[in-house]
Amino acid sequence: MAEIVIKGVAKTFGAFTALHSVDLTVADREFVVLLGASGCGKTTLLRIIAGLESASGGEVWIGGRRVDHLPPRQRGIAMVFQNYAVFPHLTVFENIAFGLRMQNLPMAEITRRVERTAELMHIEQLLKRYSGQLSGGQRQRVAVARALAMEPSVILMDEPLSNLDALLRLEMRAELKGILAESQTTTIYVTHDQVEAMSLADRIAVMQGGHILQAAEPIEVYRNPAARFVGAFIGNPPMNFLPANRGAGGWEVAGLPVLGPESGEALEFAVRPEDLRPAAKGLPAHVKIVEPLGPHLLVTCDVAGHGFRAILESDTSVRTGDLLHLAPLEGRARWFDLATGHSVPV
Amino acid sequence: MSDNATFRRRGRWLTGGSVLLLCAWVLGPIYLLFLNSFSSPSAVTGFPKHWLPSFNLDSLQFFIEFQGVASALWNSIQVATLTMVLSIVLGAPAGYALSRFEFRGKSLFRIMVLMTRAFPLPLLALPLAVMYIRVGLDDTPLGLALVHTTLALPFAVLITFSLFSGIPVELEEAAWTMGCTRAQAFRKVVLPLVMPGITASAIFAFVISWNEVFAASVLTVQHRTLTAFLLTSLDVSPLPLKFAGGFVLVLPALIFIFLVRKYLFAMWGIANR
């Protein structure tokens, strides 16, 4: 049982504020991904949870125990580092056994656990090798095995796949998901890769500028971004944004009357590229580029001087220079406050 | 086009020539030392010279048996060993702190470490001698070792700094998360990885002390180190003996420096990977 509770954790480096009073609760056995661009504070938050960095304020609780004043070794965590941090002077076996030896476990138990986790990570044939004789992917496996062997209540992962090549990353991603689900540990996973986040997480916490903007299930983060940044960061291509004007009968976007929220603030209209369909009445879009991607067409156009992308059925007949009318699907348009960037419900 | 080629060819000649000159500058004297140490005394003073030594050990043997050489050698070893230990015990923690911790005045500290080398020893010699006589450190291996340590320490700090910097901090952090205290992580992870470099740094400190002659001459009287002894005795010795003494002095330094060359490059940031 290891619920992680982060209460008002802040971190400043001199004049720079890396974290502004962050709150987050991770349920027992939950897989939470901290997602954000580099410098958003996600790694700092992870390191504070691990105890590798001290917070400037706030509390960290793991499994009902306040841990922010404890050294890493007393927090019941295991961590996987971006550059693997496999000890070069020890064999793979000794690397995996390292944490177990520190716990003074009997030799038979150590051997059993090392062999079991090695088998789980498919590195049982590498146990006698040194890290210098391993490929990047194999080192990654050792690093994960080393964390799992400790049977921690919490596993912290700092961009564990980002140093792998694309194909290997895909393979490891699926494998990690299965293994971690089975291990029943609470996991916090830091990444800047939105696809990784979407595919792995029970919940994604999107971070920007030292704040958690939204912490919700992947599909919720995708469908209903709580902030403009979230919509723009997640999704490839990202959400489209257009300024909205207050017309005679309500909101107008690029001259098209649109049903919008009752709000006195200046708003922005947003829609995901795949939520657009050609229609008789829609946003007037001048087609600039057409990219047939196989399963669909990626169409880049210009709507009232703003860049705009739509993903259309691959059999749609559209050519550069055409004028399309694109209408958002029912219930898929989103609105954001222009000043604060917060989402505004319809 | 052809101008460019000519230019490049000249550049190559220039580089090659310079390298050759520098090698000759260093290797020439060493060769002569070697040649004459292993020649019979008559061959050293005689003419014409031979390119190869006759491997006659008379000069060397005479030198080894020369009154005072053995005890001077023993003093040198004592002082150099003390210097080596002190430099590492003091220098390695400083190197570790420089590489791992952020603190106010860090860059200034690094420059100050180097600046100690810029301070001329002769200026310090007299006050030091007076002070040593007062506290009873004069003419002792420890007293001289302390001075040699101040000479060797900057190098020890800089070499160990680059060693520790070469070890990813994540390795230590991983050890902390796996149940180690800071000290345990250092002992189980960092130390095994830096040991070869620490050894090299220690050897370098040994060589610095071994080669040092000025402080050794000023601060010792009865307990001369080999360099100080040779400086005073060899002046009045016959030529074969001078060569033998020079050879005995140069040989360990040469071997040691050759063994640790990789780490000396690392000190100046020229990675030799």
- Chain A segment 81-110 residues within 8 A of B by beta carbon are 81-83, 85, 87-89, 98-99, 102-103
Q: In this structure, what CATH number is given to the domain that contains residue B249?
A: 1.10.3720.10
- Report strand pairing: A65-66 vs A240-246: unpaired
So where are chain A's domains? Answer: 4-229, 237-337
Q: Do B181 and A146 touch (CB under 8 A)?
A: no
* Average pLDDT of the residues in A130-137: 90
Instruction: Quote the pLDDT of residue A219.
Output: 95
How far is B271 from chain A, CA to nearest CA, in Å?
A: 18
Would you state the pLDDT for residue B124? Answer: 80
Q: Which residue of A has its CA nearest to B193?
A: A89
CB-nearest to B181 from A73, A82, A83 is A73
In chain B, the number of structural domains is 1
Domain for residue B76, yes or no?
Answer: yes
Indicate which of B177, B187, B191, B193 best probes the interface with A, i.e. most A CBs within 10 Å of its own CB: B177
Which of the pair, A206 or B39, is modelled with greater confidence?
A206
Q: Which of A98, A144, A155 to mutate to test the interface with B (most CBs of B within 10 A)?
A: A98
Interface with chain A: mutation pick from B103, B163, B178, highest number of A CBs within 10 Å: B178
| Interface ipTM | 0.86
Task: Report the 10 Å Cβ neighbour count for A171.
Answer: 13
Would you say residue B2 lies in a domain? no
Yes or no, beta carbons of A73 and B173 under 8 Å apart? no
**pLDDT at position B267, please?**
56
Q: How far is CA B108 from its chain centroid?
A: 25
Between A81-90, B185-194, B200-209, B225-234, the lowest mean confidence (pLDDT) is in B225-234
Within 8 A of B179 by CB-CB distance, chain A residues are 73, 99, 102-103
Closest chain B CA to residue A104: B179
pLDDT in the model for residue B273: 35
Tokens read off for B32? 């002569």
Residues A79, B193: C-beta atoms closer than 8 Å: no
Q: What is the 3-state secondary structure (H, E, C) of chain A?
A: CCCEEEEEEEEEECCEEEEEEEEEEECCCCEEEEECCCCCCHHHHHHHHHCCCCCCEEEEEECCEECCCCCHHHCCEEEECCCCCCCCCCEHHHHHHHHHHHCCCCHHHHHHHHHHHHHHCCCHHHCCCEHHHCCHHHHHHHHHHHHHHCCCCEEEEECCCCCCCHHHHHHHHHHHHHHHHHHCCEEEEEECCHHHHHHHCCEEEEEECCEEEEEECHHHHHHCCCEHHHHHHCCCCCCEEEEEEECCCCEEECCEEECCCCCCCCEEEEECHHHEEEEEEEEEEEEEEEEECCCEEEEEEEECCEEEEEEEECCCCCCCCCEEEEEECCCCCEEEECCCCEECCC
d(C-alpha A335, C-alpha A224), whole Å: 10
Q: What is the mean pLDDT of chain A?
A: 92
The reported pLDDT for the residue numbered B268 is 53
pLDDT number for residue B2: 64
Flag if B176 and A83 touch (Cβ within 8 Å): no
What are the chain B neighbours of A79 within 8 Å (beta carbons)? 173-174, 177
What share of chain A in percent tops pLDDT 70?
A: 100
Q: Which of A71, A85, A89 sits opposite B174 (nearest CB)?
A: A85
Whether pLDDT at A59 is above 70: yes
Domain membership flag for residue B175: yes
Collect all residues from B whose CB is shorter than 8 A from any CB in A: 168, 170-171, 173-181, 184, 188-189, 192-193
Count residue pairs from A and B with Cβ separation < 8 A: 58
Q: Which of A35-44, A174-183, B222-231 has the highest mean pLDDT?
A: A35-44
Q: Which residues of B touch A89 (CB under 8 A)?
A: 189, 192-193
DSSP result, B50-98: -SS-----HHHHHHHHSTTHHHHHHHHHHHHHHHHHHHHHHHHHHHHHH
B178/A51 touch (CB, cutoff 8 Å), yes or no: no
CATH topology (fold) of A237-337? OB fold (Dihydrolipoamide Acetyltransferase, E2P) (2.40.50)
> Given the structure tokens 């002046």, which residue do they identify?
B235
- Find the mean pLDDT for residues B31-58: 77
Residue A45's CB is within 10 A of a number of other CB atoms, namely 28
- Chain B residues with CB under 8 Å of A71 CB are 176, 181
Structure tokens at B79: 């002082």
Kindly state which CATH superfamily the domain A4-229 is placed in. P-loop containing nucleotide triphosphate hydrolases (3.40.50.300)
From the list B181, B184, B193, which residue is nearest A89 (CB)? B193
Chain A closest-CA separation from residue B96 CA (Å): 18
Contact between A281 and A328 under an 8 Å Cβ cutoff? The reply is: no
Residue B129 lies in a domain: yes
* Minimum distance, in Å, between the CA of residue B92 and any CA atom of chain A: 20
- Taking residues A241-254, what's their average pLDDT? 86
pLDDT at residue B270 in the model:
47
Residue B151 has pLDDT above 80, yes or no: yes
d(CA A44, CA A31) in angstroms, rounded, equals: 18
Distance CA(B71)–CA(A109), nearest Å, equals 58
In DSSP terms, A276 is beta-bridged to A328
Q: Judge whether residue B196 has pLDDT over 70.
A: yes
Nearest Cα of chain A lies from the Cα of B115 at a distance, in angstroms, of 30
Among A79, A96, A100, A142, the strongest candidate for a mutation testing the B interface, having the largest count of B CBs within 10 A, is A79
What is the model's pLDDT at position A128?
94
From A192-196, A257-261, B116-120, the region with the lowest mean pLDDT: B116-120
Domain containing B227 equals 63-267
Question: Residue A102 and residue B184: Cβ atoms within 8 Å?
Answer: yes
Evaluate whether B53 touches B32 at the Cβ level (below 8 Å): no
Summarize pLDDT for B259-273 with one digit per residue, the tens.
877 776 665 554 433
Q: How far apart are CA A231 and CA A225, in angstroms?
A: 5
Residue-level pLDDT at A40: 92
Give tens-digit pLDDT for A218-235.
999 999 999 999 999 999
